[in-house]
Structure 1
Amino acid sequence: MTKDVLQSLEALAKRIETLEAEAEIRRVQARYMFLCDTPCPEAGVENDSQRIECILDLYTEDAIWEGVGAYYDNQFGQRVGKAALREHFEAFWGQKRDPALLLNVHYLTSEQIHVRGDEADGQWVHCQPWIFSDGSSLLRSSRLNNLFRRVDGVWKVSRTRTENVFVAPLGAGWANNVPDRSVLMR
């Protein structure tokens, strides 16, 4: 093979590696959001402890989860390391809500992923409707600016950073036929 052909093959291999990394990062981010939905649609996840362990599997050992900006600083703050992330998620799903959360679904958009070897960053905008047992509802939107790192060949989240865009109340009755559990993946 000529030098030009070898260089072309190397360049092509690098482009394929980058595309595969982007696809895996996209799946990791989408899986995180999927696992955070209520009711949880993940097959085999029967309780919130299992949900939390599945979420933590997506993170590096030294991961950071933080809410930033005027609204989220006080609501979420910053957690560093898997033990602190577990406490964060246990506080969210472990508390009895009154009214109870019936539905929470995450929609991701405006994706940008930038891969640099074994590290990457990704930005998204997400919206999520929340429906509560008392009939109240709201729509939340935030920007995500997350970091990822390849650990032993597997892409993991090394930082989740979320910033509030808006929270808006939704009128009663805007949604109907809200499921009490997901059967899609079962």
Structure 2
Amino acid sequence: MTQTTIEALLARIEMLEAQNEVRQSIARYMALCDVPCAPLEGESLAALFTDDAVWEGIGPQYAQKFGRLQGRAAIVDMLQQYLPPSPHFATNVHFLTSEHINVHGDFARGRWIMVQASGYVDAKAEIIAARLEVDFASSLCQGKHAWLIRHFRTERLFDAPWQVNVRKETSA
């Protein structure tokens, strides 16, 4: 193998590892927004964002509802309004599909379609589909390489009501 071939293979491995780390970051974000959630020790939403991160709702439904938030603290404060102990979701699960991740050096952009199945404390339930476009920045955190969310954009595509199956206990 030539040095050029080795360098090309190393660059491809580096890109694949970066894509996987981006995938892990967005998956942790979604899991931490699920209800109920069982975070691993030391995990937090705040740890997934850069200091100057932007989180915004775009499009006709989300621009007004969420607006544009800047800074890790503002973003986490908004997200916490929807998570326990706040009485909002009884259950909430996120699914990501149609993934596309581009990595360019220390910058990455991912696009997904997110399906969110939500049951609310008022017993209503809905399925929401949204388009996500998320920019990530490469960072060293406590000696480990990480891809942090730098700009999160979400656009609601559609929603539909659904029925949450409530398991009823039977007495024997």
TM-score by length of 2: 0.87
Contact 2:82 2:89 in 1 (8 A): no
Structure 2 SS opposite 1:92: coil
2:112 equivalent to 1:112: no
Aligned identity (percent) is 37
Aligned equivalent of 1:167 = 159
5+ residue gaps in structure 1? 46-52, 179-186
Q: 1: CA distance between counterparts of 2:53 and 2:2?
A: 41
Q: Which amino acid in 2 is paired with 1:25?
A: V
Over 6 Å off, 4+ runs? none
Q: Which amino acid in 2 is paired with 1:126?
A: M
2:108 equivalent to 1:130: no
Q: Give 1:42 shift.
A: 1.9
5+ residue gaps in structure 2? none
Return closer, same or farther for 1:114/1:177 CA change in 2, 3 Å cut-off. farther
Q: State the aligned residue count.
A: 164
Higher helix share: 1
Structure 1 SS opposite 2:37: coil
Structure 1 SS opposite 2:57: strand
Q: 1: CA distance between counterparts of 2:9 and 2:61?
A: 44
Higher strand share: 2
Structure 2 SS opposite 1:135: coil
* Backbone CA RMSD of aligned residues: 2.1
Q: 2: CA distance between counterparts of 1:19 and 1:59?
A: 21
Q: Give 1:87 shift.
A: 2.5
TM-score by length of 1: 0.81
Q: Give 1:96 shift.
A: 4.5
